[in-house]
Amino acid sequence: MSPAPIHHVLLAIDSLTGRGAEKVVVNLGEALLQLGHRVSIVIYEDIVEFEVDPRIRIHRLNPVARGKVRLLSRLTDNANVRQFKALLATIEAEQGRVDLILSALPRIDRILSRIRDKRIHHVIHNALSLQNGIRKNGWRKKLARIWHAKRMYDGRQIIGVSAGVGEDLKTWVKVRPASLRTIYNPFHFEHLLGLAAEPFTPPAGVQADEYLLHIGAFTLKQKRQDVLIEAFAASGLQCKLVLLGKGKDEAKIRDIIKRCGVEDRVILAGFQANPYPWIRNARLLVLSSDYEGFGNVLVEAMVVGTPVLSTDCPAGPGEILAGAMSGSLVPPGDVQALAQKMKAFHAQPPQIDVQSLNRFAAATVANEYLKLIS
């Protein structure tokens, strides 16, 4: 039997800043490496905040800055297309032919969507109609944003990180892709378990296995910490609620905590480079978002053994918590439903369907991407 071919996959993304989509790209690259393949990453903006395996070559695009005048922005788009093609030629000269190109996030998508190449697939990480305000804006903004998305993604090969992301793209953003597939985000289970096992001492007044935990950027528009805090206050629970994260709405969140009268029970613990010991020692992880592309933290929590409670928001949580775990979902924005489940689950945490997590294992997901290679 002849050995399986070694492929070269290029991952293109806006940057490697410390956020969800960027983390997914790093995880996928490392999973492909572990399967014996070659990986290159191209970043639009020169920001790298992750430790990346040194066998993965990172290339900076050095794009031409976009002009404010629409005509000039078209010219810079053309210049950046030439820039990418030249960089791709250099990568292939040094490392061999690229078999698959995966593009993620808007700025790099804007460039690659102008290139006709069957190796290119665009990976959509969020429900764009909600992220871009298409569902709520007036008709002028709505049409402009739909037009912009269709200009990039119509006729292109699209991957949604959940089925809900793809459905949102077709139904609300009106995109008509050449192909549309769902491939879930990859997770390195053993690595997560190792990080979760690192020494951890809860802050003063916080008891392990008693506190509720929320992790997410402090952005009320998406993560809805207002709903979370109001529900916690309504639940009457006397345990602590710990919020990990940072963001532009921190002052507003502090005001909400004060307004709800729970200053003594809600702790803002800031951004944590390793949040997994916090997750492992929590009684329950709670996600209160109005929308997600996937909901990485739900999988991460269950992998390290912590039950979860989530809003059934577009697009990922309902797919993660399917079947026997569907009781861990409540309607988005429903303070009373969230409060009731918080109280019930704190008393009796729900069971985790461990077998259902296997579909998110890094090697499984990487092999799904390799199937895209002709």
Alpha helices in the chain (DSSP H): 20-34, 70-95, 106-112, 128-131, 139-153, 163-171, 189-196, 220-223, 225-235, 250-259, 276-280, 296-303, 317-320, 335-347, 362-370
**β-strands 329-330, 308-311 pairing:** parallel
**What phi, psi does 367 have (nearest 5°)?**
-65, -30
**Chain centroid, CA 356 distance in Å:** 19
Q: Which amino acid is at 373?
A: I
Distance between CA 345 and CA 308 in Å, rounded? Answer: 9
CB 273 within 8 A of CB 309: no
What is the reported pLDDT for 253? 96
What is the reported pLDDT for 50? 86
Q: Residue 352: enclosing H or E segment and its boundaries? A: none
Query: Is the bond preceding 315 in cis, omega lying within 30 degrees of 0?
Result: yes
Read off the pTM: 0.89
- Cβ-based neighbour number of residue 331 at 10 Å: 10
- Structural domains in the chain? 8-187+360-370 (3.40.50.2000), 189-358 (3.40.50.2000)
| pLDDT average per 10 residues of sequence, the chain (374 residues) | 82 88 94 96 91 93 72 76 95 95 94 96 92 78 88 96 93 95 96 94 88 94 95 95 93 96 93 92 96 92 96 90 90 96 95 93 97 90
In a 10 Å sphere around its CB, with 0-12 CB exposed, 13-18 middle and 19+ buried, how is residue 272 labelled? middle
Distance between CA 253 and CA 258 in Å, rounded? Answer: 9
- Cβ-based neighbour number of residue 258 at 10 Å: 12
What counts of helices (H) and strands (E) characterise the chain? 15, 13
